[in-house]
Amino acid sequence: MYDLRVLDVDWPYIAQVLGYANATSAQVQFNKKAKRALARYNAHHGSAKSSHDKNQNQGKL
């Protein structure tokens, strides 16, 4: 689904190809999967914000 979005394919077509009921369902599922992927990435690598905050606060101790 991500590949189709990168290629600028519209949501109704994505829904039809992947078997979702409609474009809204496809968008909702895409957003859920994207959030889970970002959470996995942040759990493994740490979020950029937390790394930035740690670096800023080191000199203030």
Banded model confidence at residue 8, pLDDT cuts 50, 70, 90? confident
Q: Quick: pLDDT tens for 9-54.
A: 899 999 999 999 999 999 999 999 999 999 999 999 876 565 555 5
pLDDT at 3: 80
Residue 5 pLDDT > 90: no
Listing DSSP states for 9-29 in one string gives: --HHHHHHHHT-SSHHHHHHH
Do residues 15 and 30 make contact, with C-beta atoms less than 8 angstroms apart? no
